[in-house]
Amino acid sequence: MQDAVVEGKTVLVRVDYNVPLADGDVADDARIKASLPTLNDLIDRGAKLTLLTHLGRPEGRIISELRVDPVGERLQAFLDRPVQKLDDCIGEEIKKAITKGVPGDLFLLENLRFHPEETANDAKFARSLASLGDLYVNDAFATLHRGHASTLGVTDYLPAYAGKLVQNELAALSPLVEEPVRPYIAIVGGKKAKSKLGALRDLLDQVDVIMIGGGVAFTFLRAKGHSVGDSIVDESLLEEIKPLIQAAYEKDVLILLPRDVVIAEEVSATAETATCRADKIPAGWIGLDIGPETIGTFREQIDAAKTIVWAGPMGAFELKPFSRGTVAIAEALADSEAYTVVGGGETGEAVAKLGWADRMSYVSTGGGACLALLRGKSLPALDALRG
């Protein structure tokens, strides 16, 4: 974007303001803050800005709780200038409002995903979005792996550039893709194995050690024939996991699963808890965090590593009884002298809540996009910017 002539132009900026909300207000504004360098640069150079974002998963329906008004209010406070929030993202009335603006004005359009055409990358919808600007800047790193109308389709109709956040993300993550200093370890957690299995398969060609926690671990434990009680398990993946474990052995990649876990009979902050072996969880009990022995084992690997990527919490960290594993891993990374990259999403939120974000080498704004890049996968919206 530094190469683009923007003075007197209307710049269509794809930002990622898919932020958590609580009681109608923004609960975590890290992604809004991350966009400020791009916005301020464009404003300082005499541009008029039209911002595009999605929020949540309305799946093509208008859901009042997912309107972007709270985002606009928080952005306005950060920029200390008016943010004009419009009630849709396409249409003649929207175009007229933007046309009346002057350099320095900033418009925030309504949630893109209120229109099903957005995720379908509908050409007509993309063309309508493109008609609202003279050029396009993508600063939504977390969406680069999505081929949507606002990330991919719009580049067919406007000159397209990378924003500062996208540039920073690529610069921070490139050492892990090109020549990572070894030992290189990946810590993978989160709730669902399905969302991480492809990443785990591809990471076998990148890393030396993979440590698995969170809900993902229980599908792996079940695939190895262990009893996991009522823990989260994706039965459809069991036969896929077995060859993955064999491939890791053949590639000399160490996969570490929990040895012990914190369990409860329900997912509740007031539930009675216990600690047991990870391969012998009683019927009726749910694994909800890694245990102290596992924390110690994982910490040993972290202390010896030179490069670390972490994607996914170790348990139900939002509930205090099951937060210890995630806190311990975050603390170990904060203390580490390795190059540490934290994926976005829940992992980034956890690190931010603990106040340790500045003790990591880099905290990415995009979980899925971060993992896709590290896996060596093509990111459609990034490829479009590269032409």
Write the DSSP string, 31-78: HHHHHHHHHHHHHHTT-EEEEE---S--TTS--GGG-SHHHHHHHHHH
| Annotated catalytic residue 192 | yes
Options 9, 14, 31, 324, the catalytic residue = 31
Nearest-angstrom CA–CA distance, 145 and 27: 25
| Annotated catalytic residue 104 | no
**Peptide bond just before 183 cis, omega within 30 deg:** yes
> 324, 209, 348, 193: which is closest to 260 by C-alpha?
324
| Residues forming a β-bridge with 276 | 261
Assign 274 to helix, strand or coil.
Answer: strand
Options 192, 259, 277, 359, the catalytic residue = 192
Residue with token string 């009893």: 227
* Token pair of 313 as six digits: 């919490």
Options 345, 348, 366, 367, the catalytic residue = 345
Question: What are the DSSP E strand ranges found in the chain?
Answer: 10-14, 21-22, 25-26, 48-52, 84-85, 106-108, 135-138, 160-162, 184-188, 209-212, 227-228, 254-256, 260-264, 273-277, 280-281, 286-290, 307-311, 339-342, 362-363
Options 312, 344, 367, 368, the catalytic residue = 368
Nearest-angstrom CA–CA distance, 281 and 311: 25
> 140, 118, 141, 144: which is closest to 129 by C-alpha?
118
Contacts 24+ apart (CB under 8 A), 193-199: 193/219, 193/220, 193/234, 193/237, 193/241, 194/234, 194/236, 194/237, 195/368, 196/311, 196/312, 196/371, 197/237, 197/240, 197/241, 197/244, 198/375, 199/311, 199/371, 199/372, 199/374, 199/375
* Token pair of 196 as six digits: 């991480």
| Annotated catalytic residue 214 | no
Contacts 24+ apart (CB under 8 A), 93-98: 94/132, 95/131, 95/132, 98/10, 98/48, 98/50, 98/132
| Annotated catalytic residue 312 | no
Query: What are the residue numbers of the active site?
Result: 31, 192, 345, 368
